[in-house]
Structure 1
Amino acid sequence: MTQSTGPEPALAAGEDPRRYAQILTAVYDATMAGGRGPARPREVIGDSWRRLQTLGIDPEQKSISPSLVDVSDLELSRRDSGLFDVLDDLARGLESVVQDGNNILVVADRHGRVLWRSGSTAVLDRADGLGFVEGASWAEDSVGTNAIGTALVSRRAVQIFSAEHYVRSHHPWTCAGAPIKDPRTGQVIGAVDVSGPASSVHPTTLALVDAIARLAESQLREHHRQNLDLLRSVAAPMLARLHSPALAVDANGWVAATSSVALRTRVLLPEDLATGRFWMPTLGVCEVEPLPGGWLVRPTGVAESASVSETAGATTICIDLRHPQHTRLEIRSEVGEWIHEPTPRHAEILYLLAVHREGRTAAQMAADLFGDGGRAITVRAEMSRLRKQLSGVVMTQPYRFDASATLEILMPEDISRLLPHSSAPAVRARRIR
């Protein structure tokens, strides 16, 4: 029951599902009783069970009571999820899996809330009995190990079979889920899941679900390209008439067109951007004006290499690690504030820089992240990507936060929930202190 780096089905091809389910039940019973089972759960399952035991989730809960959601609120969540435009692609791609009437197709948002589901009346009725309904939360910390919640935490495709579910009442089910990332931000915005009776388990289901999730990401990427092209067509004539540096960017900071500004693909924007003057990490203080589908950003002349203190006076850098899935970096200064959600790797780096305020060399960071100081080249490449987003916030020689800024770090109440996706030795050591 080992874990590979790619999508790994719960059941190997040719394996007897009934025999495998019996082994899993024995492993589950022994683990929940604090004993030693006939085998160890797969790594992704064992990690999930430990997280849930730490949270005190009851594995014997009989059913899930879905939170009641107003129809209008649910529709708003669907529109805001970023998944609305790819729903038809998800449904078509997985039609063959659900058309036999045994399986249910579910699309959830980044928090694990069920936004849509599709299936036969019989399978939907069975799902109702579990609280597997539209509007219900199937986050891991709400209902235990399941393909939606565990895929969102692990950020990888997973298949959960029978007694691999943490809650015993879910053991008659099998599910395969894959996270969907927004290509504009790199953040997970939801998950697609196929669930059904445990007897319907098949090794290829996970690969199909993962492939459909990647197809959805491709479609989102194409929509983004089309929107940038439209913004570029609007902004190009305006930029041509200006006699000062300027950029046209979309709502996520992706650059559609530039004039007299160093070439870049994206800039970080304040979360509540509006017309006026704002500070941006890679551009300094800028004048901002609205454009159809984006913003016109005009740097005022502050050098890009300036530190946060030089561009914006007294500055506070806040790293919020309290949510297990979504690290938030907030910069507050005299000219405004902005919030950025870093990638999981960048979240690890920001945490390590916060606890080592004096800074880390590339070799030290490599040891922290990989347990191997010889991987400094990998670290330098990752730091280069991070500093393109956080120029003036993260400094070099050694890598560190700007010393003049005030640094705040908000930790989870339960230290075992610190960056649960991370396998970095320095992070894992902190979790068990």
Structure 2
Amino acid sequence: MSYADLDAYSRLLRGAHEAAEAGRVPPELPRRLITASWQRSLEAGIDPDGKSAPLVYDLPHIEDVRQAHPLRPLLPLIAQTLSSLADEVLIVTDGGGRVLWREGSHAIMRRADQIGLADGHQWAEGTVGTNGIGTALEAGRPVHVYSEEHLMRVLHVWSCSAAPITDPDSGQILGCVDVSGTSRSLHPATVALVAATAKLTETQLALRMHERDERLRRRFESVRGQPGVLLSASGRVLSGDPAGSLGERIRLSGRRVILQDGSAAVLEPFADGFLLRPTPSAAPPTLALSFLGEAQPVATFGELNRPLSLRHAEILALLALHPHGLTAEQLSFHLYGDDGNPVTIRAEIHRLRAQFGEAIAAKPYRLTCPLEADFLEVRRHLSANDTGALARAYRGPLLLRSESPEIRRERDELEAQVRVCLLRHGAPDELWTYAQTCSGRDDYEVLERLAALPPTDPRSAAARSRLYP
């Protein structure tokens, strides 16, 4: 396209901009890619008069992200391939359009700073509207966005060519490589070079993936006497399934996996991947929760007996009370109310599954093994009006230190029901057992009943000593 043609196209774009903002159909539309992007951007509430991309990573945080990102080892390759574009700014983002690295002359980067084309700023289409990075990620292919094709007016002096980079292992978009410059200096053909760079990067990623796979297969050969299927860290089937009955990939969601034929298997860590082994025929172990009273909460799983932190006990209690499962958002609300953060819950669930992996499933989070819980046992005795078993089972309030709104509601309701049931129907032995709990120790009405026992009954004297210290 000649610069004369670009002038005409700029006039068309300015007219289309005015019409789009006024909600009218312009006499001439930009190319389909841009028209669709404008529509998405306006529906997302992007302000054409915005001034900059938002900053989403501060410097300490972005360094941690950079170190962990799989594109980091390939930065020299990307920079060298695009070295002929020294007058422009080279950008590499993550899959969400957040700028992780950039390179260019001081002059072009000073101009880029003014619009947030800098480390830690996000260029997703949903945050700044139509632009090379965000639109390439949205469209899933290389794009060139020229001058007034950007939705935000402050970007009209810029043009950019960008291409997404797809992980050959997971199939997910890892990030985007972008070259941006002033509209007259960046030729539309730049997008071909940027697309070739993205493809070359994907080729290198695939080569490294195959090398990892081969190392894993060689390691697997040394233990071929044991049954199992070798999986990569992302769940790709590498060896041990010659008939191909498992497909190309196993979805990893906890230690226990349900296969396509409905059978179950267990994941075991193996080097940098996993071994998928048949589930033993024995029934899964029972998870037993002891959460009543003043003692530290404890969970028993098979032969494991583990004291629990209050937060982990709260999560397990909520999952026990909601057998159909809860999302991270629901768990967060039950634990923290409106101030909850689902990210915190996911981290805690991850730690719990490291201890009780096969007992906790995801999407939604739920318990998948046989369950015994002292507070659920109390519920059953209340339903059966079995005061003897109820008094023996109730050792005190549920998770006494918990401030979780849902746990507090359950605790108060359980306490009230136990007390009323024993006062109405309980024998002296059962009332005395309840009086040994932290709730019943100073319960005036319970102690009055016990104090009314014959004076020769030691329980009567004990009750009177509490009533009249």
CA distance in 2, matches of 1:61, 1:175: 18
Q: How does 1:6-25 map to 2 (within 5 A)?
A: 12=1, 16-25=5-14
**Among 73, 79, 94, which residue is 1:85 paired with?**
73
The offset of 1:186, in angstroms, is 1.5
The offset of 1:34, in angstroms, is 2.6
The offset of 1:41, in angstroms, is 1.5
1:96 aligned to 2:84? yes
Whether the 8 Å contact between 1:278 and 1:336 is mirrored in structure 2 is no
Q: How does 1:155-194 map to 2 (within 5 A)?
A: 155-194=140-179
Whether the 8 Å contact between 1:89 and 1:216 is mirrored in structure 2 is yes
The offset of 1:189, in angstroms, is 1.5
1:29 aligned to 2:41? no
The offset of 1:176, in angstroms, is 0.8
The offset of 1:263, in angstroms, is 6.2
**Among 219, 235, 260, which residue is 1:253 paired with?**
235
Aligned length: 294
CA distance in 2, matches of 1:315, 1:301: 25
Unaligned runs of 5+ in 2: 282-322, 328-356, 364-469
The offset of 1:255, in angstroms, is 2.4
- For residue 30 of structure 2, give the secondary structure of its aligned residue in structure 1: coil
Cα distance, 1:293–1:125 mapped onto 2, change above 3 Å: same
Cα distance, 1:161–1:230 mapped onto 2, change above 3 Å: same
The offset of 1:31, in angstroms, is 2.0
CA distance in 2, matches of 1:282, 1:123: 58
CA distance in 2, matches of 1:129, 1:231: 48
1:216 aligned to 2:201? yes
Which runs of structure 1 show a deviation greater than 6 angstroms over 4 or more consecutive aligned residues? none
Q: What letter matches 2:170 in structure 1?
A: T
Q: How does 1:31-180 map to 2 (within 5 A)?
A: 31-71=20-60, 73-97=61-85, 99=86, 101=87, 103-180=88-165
Q: How does 1:185-334 map to 2 (within 5 A)?
A: 185-239=170-224, 241-242=225-226, 244=227, 246-258=228-240, 262=244, 266-271=248-253, 273=254, 276-281=255-260, 284-300=263-279
CA distance in 1, matches of 2:261, 2:217: 21
Q: Which has the higher strand share?
A: 1
- For residue 152 of structure 1, give the secondary structure of its aligned residue in structure 2: helix
Moved more, 278-287 or 36-45: 278-287
Higher radius of gyration, 1 or 2 = 2
The percent of aligned pairs where both chains have the same amino acid is 36
Q: What letter matches 1:166 in structure 2?
A: L
Cα distance, 1:267–1:284 mapped onto 2, change above 3 Å: farther
Q: What letter matches 2:104 in structure 1?
A: G
Whether the 8 Å contact between 2:125 and 2:131 is mirrored in structure 1 is yes
Cα distance, 1:81–1:282 mapped onto 2, change above 3 Å: farther
Q: What letter matches 1:42 in structure 2?
A: R
CA distance in 1, matches of 2:22, 2:201: 41
CA distance in 1, matches of 2:54, 2:170: 33
Whether the 8 Å contact between 1:49 and 1:145 is mirrored in structure 2 is yes
Whether the 8 Å contact between 1:158 and 1:178 is mirrored in structure 2 is yes
Cα distance, 1:34–1:301 mapped onto 2, change above 3 Å: same
Q: What letter matches 1:258 in structure 2?
A: G
CA distance in 2, matches of 1:26, 1:40: 9
CA distance in 1, matches of 2:102, 2:261: 42
Q: What letter matches 2:266 in structure 1?
A: E
CA distance in 2, matches of 1:151, 1:260: 38
The offset of 1:267, in angstroms, is 2.6
Whether the 8 Å contact between 2:54 and 2:127 is mirrored in structure 1 is no
The offset of 1:282, in angstroms, is 5.9
CA distance in 2, matches of 1:86, 1:235: 28
Whether the 8 Å contact between 2:42 and 2:129 is mirrored in structure 1 is no
The offset of 1:262, in angstroms, is 4.3
- TM-score w.r.t. length of structure 1: 0.62
- Greater relative CO (CA pairs within 8 A, separation 6+): 1
The one-character-per-residue Cα deviations of 1:359-396 (angstroms, maximum 9, x if unpaired) are xxxxxxxxxxxxxxxxxxxxxxxxxxxxxxxxxxxxxx
Q: What letter matches 1:294 in structure 2?
A: G
Whether the 8 Å contact between 2:93 and 2:101 is mirrored in structure 1 is yes
Q: Which has the higher helix share?
A: 2
CA distance in 2, matches of 1:62, 1:292: 49
